[in-house]
Structure 1
Amino acid sequence: MIMTFAEKILAKYAGEKKVEPGQIVTVKPDHLLMHDNAAPIISKIKPELQQYGVFKRSLPVIVLDHVIPAAGEKNALQHKQIREFVRTYKIKYFFDVGYGVCHQIIVEKGLALPGTLLLGSDSHTCSYGAVGAFSSGIDRTEAAALLLIGETWLKVPESIKITLKGQLHRWVTAKDVILSIIGDVSASGADYCSVEFHGAIARFSVDERFTMANMGVEMGAKNAVFPVDNVTMQYLTSIGVSKLKYKPLNPDVDAIYEKELTYSLSEIEPVVAVPHSVDKIKPVREVTGVEIQQCLLGTCTNGRVSDFEIAAKILKGKKVHRNVRLLILPSSRSVYLESLKKGLISIFLEAGGTILPPGCGPCLGAHQGVLAPGERCLSTSNRNFKGRMGCSEAEIYLASPATVALSAINGKITDPRKVKR
């Protein structure tokens, strides 16, 4: 049976030999991700939970990450409610305040594996395609039902094949690649499609694949995935996952796609997404000189050690501009610790940066780093909608760690290719 990645994995989980785009299937995912929003989810079904309990205590994975530590009584009560739920129903996978962003934790802890199916009550659940999993966001009502009965329905998506060719120039990163693709495809150009990345993917680390899969939803994708290769397997081995624990499902070579796109990596340059849409992409050289008041380096999109290493090369021995606040947001405690050991955190602090606890906070304007009217932030995060960072009268530009680091020094958006060393 010739099938794409999405068709193969949904056929497997639906117990079918073959499925086709548009077909409705019932599936039982390996895990259901929830974060701080677990509180309203479990509140929806409190009577049912008391009567029936959860379907399986290993199904939910709950990570407190959005507003941590709690910013007020409401948040504190939600966190308390979640902890009580975890204790009452003996939930196996719970990560309290400080572990990091849910998406990073899922991958770090080996809970997302090649050939597995994960659903989550967060739109960036698509991130786990970085390690060959089918992962997608669902809404809270679906999550509540899934928590009780262990299954849900999905429509088999059409698939889009994106082939990458060549290699990137210095200071051009995976973030520039995915932003460029989104700018070309548009914010709705891959609506409810499974996006597969092919071609020169061996040049991209799992960290870089994470950045790209994470932003798949920003072009409307149901999921985004990199076929499993040696890069994937070496990464999983490095975090202690045995090859015996997973069975990759890669698309067939002659699979049929709704659309096929090809991009030359050597033609991609540093870019930014300008306010107020992720698909409004411009070369950095066209917005050079735009003054900024805040820089955010990190988040689940670009908050890993390799991202910090890029920024540290630029910031070492330099000072952040006096008119700029540089916020460093590690994606997990593990990333924070390794960055400390490598001396990256010292570089950021000596440059004038502020280190935030591993979590989401400023990315969604919920906690720490909220903008004021008229301010501009240059961020490595994944969204720049109006009001995203807590103020509808502020502006958010999205860029790579390299662009953010050099711009923080200069106080204005700067092309990272201008780095002197």
Structure 2
Amino acid sequence: MAGMTMSQKILAAHAGLSEVKAGQLIEADLDLVLGNDITSPVAIKEMEKFNSKGVFNKDKIALVPDHFVPNKDIKSAENCKCVREFAKRNSITNYFEVGQMGIEHALLPEKGLTVPGDLIIGADSHTCTYGALGAFSTGVGSTDMAAGMATGKAWFKVPSAIKFNLTGKLNEYVSGKDVILHIIGMIGVDGALYKSMEFTGEGVKELSMDDRFTIANMAIEAGGKNGIFPVDEKAIEYLKEHAPGKEYKVFEADPDAEYDEEYTIDLSTLKSTVAFPHLPENTHTFDDIDDIKIDQVVIGSCTNGRIDDIRMAARILKGRKVAEGMRCIIIPATQAIYMQAMDEGLLKIFIEAGAVVSTPTCGPCLGGYMGILASGERCVSTTNRNFVGRMGATDSEIYLASPAVAAASAITGKLSQPSEL
């Protein structure tokens, strides 16, 4: 039998098996089940259908209303009320709402709820974020979430894998967002369909944890089942800070693990990368970008609302002004990040530059609120999807980019990189 990948080892361990192979169907025990204010109400209604006696473990479920929160209308208020009452009824330990809340995929690692070796499902496609910490985490539908909350188990088809060997070190202003956009541009939005994207190599240690969260977060945009990083010193330092005393298990890929494909990426060769409308794979570098006028910039989301991202935006906006007619919206991903940005004086920089700062919310990313686009408008956004109509009008356009590119574009009023300032 061939060796196993990191993901396959985690799945085998949670299924009580000594080995698994790609394509195998398994039932596995879950360490965490996650839902938000859009997906949880559906799951809660499903649970009621199969007469569940309640949840399998009140400590292993996380409910984070974050998409339309603070509530934007009656419907979103009703959804949150449904989740709030369910959390109360079942004494859910990890329920985070306004005041404690944040964007789920930034909040859970920060709270120490996601650790190496965990098997995590979430009714949100960007649940794959936690692979940055060496966990197997993946998005599921609300029905699977319901079954997971009731039984603590889920069915999986064991994925095959693609190996990304990272070498070198990123240049100034180039970040994890550029790495993952480069990869999606290279392999396409279905290039890793139902596969595990495993990142390895000397270059990993050069990436900050925030870079890794961003890369794992967008594995789904290449069709991936999950993205996963090895657990190194940086990951262990992160865990010491955020999950002190919590037990975890480190899994390493076997030397003879089988991969469908292998790619080597020299980080030092990467440039600021932008995904043009209307797919994340439609990537360009500034070598071939003409003047493109921009109406709005959004810096935030589960992809790029972490402290590294906020600091980078502040570094570029400091002492400068947002272009006339430009709307620049900055959304720290959690209360803790908001507080840190405040302590470091970053919020002052943003407001003096003519940007606005929002409470943590997913809002604009999914066309929810706090930055919807009108007909024909263009937005540079640090979010993860730029499908037709994703952020508003169907003839609006979204350019996905790093916080550095987004901040530079806010200043010039057109798609720009920091070196142009």
Instruction: Place the TM-score, normalised by the shorter chain, in its bin.
Output: over 0.9
**Amino acid aligned to 2:240:** T
Q: Is the 8 A contact 2:109 2:242 kept in 1?
A: no
| C-alpha distance in structure 2 between counterparts of 1:344 and 1:250, whole Å | 39
How many angstroms does 1:278 deviate by? 0.4
Task: Find out whether 1:167 has 2:174 as its counterpart.
Answer: no
Question: 2:60: which partner in 1?
Answer: 59
SS at match of 2:17: coil
| C-alpha distance in structure 2 between counterparts of 1:213 and 1:365, whole Å | 23
How many angstroms does 1:257 deviate by? 1.0
Question: 1:176: which partner in 2?
Answer: 178
Question: 1:110: which partner in 2?
Answer: 112
- Show the 5 A alignment for 1:257-276: 257-276=259-278
Uncovered stretches (5+) of structure 2, i.e. residues with no partner: none
Residue-by-residue CA offset, 1:10-68 (whole Å, 9 max, x unaligned): 1100000000000000011101000002112112232545x522222123210010001
| C-alpha distance in structure 2 between counterparts of 1:271 and 1:150, whole Å | 40
| C-alpha distance in structure 2 between counterparts of 1:60 and 1:239, whole Å | 18
- Show the 5 A alignment for 1:130-209: 130-199=132-201, 200-209=203-212
Question: 1:362: which partner in 2?
Answer: 364
- Show the 5 A alignment for 1:62-73: 62-73=63-74
Return 39-48 or 287-296, whichever deviates more.
39-48
Number of residues paired by the alignment? 417
| C-alpha distance in structure 1 between counterparts of 2:137 and 2:243, whole Å | 21
1:232 corresponds, among 231, 235, 239, to 235
Question: 2:410: which partner in 1?
Answer: 408
Question: 1:387: which partner in 2?
Answer: 389
| C-alpha distance in structure 2 between counterparts of 1:172 and 1:44, whole Å | 44
Q: Is the 8 A contact 1:376 1:394 kept in 2?
A: yes
Task: Find out whether 1:19 has 2:20 as its counterpart.
Answer: yes
Residue-by-residue CA offset, 1:176-213 (whole Å, 9 max, x unaligned): 11100110010000000011111110001111100100
Question: 2:297: which partner in 1?
Answer: 295
SS at match of 1:245: coil
| C-alpha distance in structure 2 between counterparts of 1:235 and 1:150, whole Å | 27
Q: Is the 8 A contact 2:130 2:136 kept in 1?
A: yes
Uncovered stretches (5+) of structure 1, i.e. residues with no partner: none
RMSD: 1.2
| C-alpha distance in structure 2 between counterparts of 1:335 and 1:223, whole Å | 25
**Amino acid aligned to 2:174:** V
How many angstroms does 1:80 deviate by? 1.0
Length-normalised TM-score, structure 1: 0.97
- Show the 5 A alignment for 1:190-339: 190-199=192-201, 200-242=203-245, 245-339=247-341
How many angstroms does 1:240 deviate by? 4.3
How many angstroms does 1:285 deviate by? 3.5
| C-alpha distance in structure 2 between counterparts of 1:238 and 1:152, whole Å | 30
**Amino acid aligned to 1:80:** K
Question: 2:44: which partner in 1?
Answer: 42
SS at match of 2:189: coil
CA 1:59–1:238: 2 relative to 1, 3 Å: closer
2:355 corresponds, among 350, 353, 357, to 353
How many angstroms does 1:280 deviate by? 0.3
Q: Is the 8 A contact 2:376 2:393 kept in 1?
A: no
Structure 1's consecutive aligned runs of 4 or more residues displaced over 3 angstroms after TM superposition are none
| C-alpha distance in structure 1 between counterparts of 2:40 and 2:9, whole Å | 30
SS at match of 2:360: coil
| C-alpha distance in structure 2 between counterparts of 1:3 and 1:160, whole Å | 12
**Amino acid aligned to 2:373:** L
| C-alpha distance in structure 1 between counterparts of 2:310 and 2:370, whole Å | 20
**Amino acid aligned to 2:170:** L
Q: Is the 8 A contact 1:288 1:412 kept in 2?
A: no
How many angstroms does 1:286 deviate by? 2.0
| C-alpha distance in structure 1 between counterparts of 2:139 and 2:240, whole Å | 27
Length-normalised TM-score, structure 2: 0.97
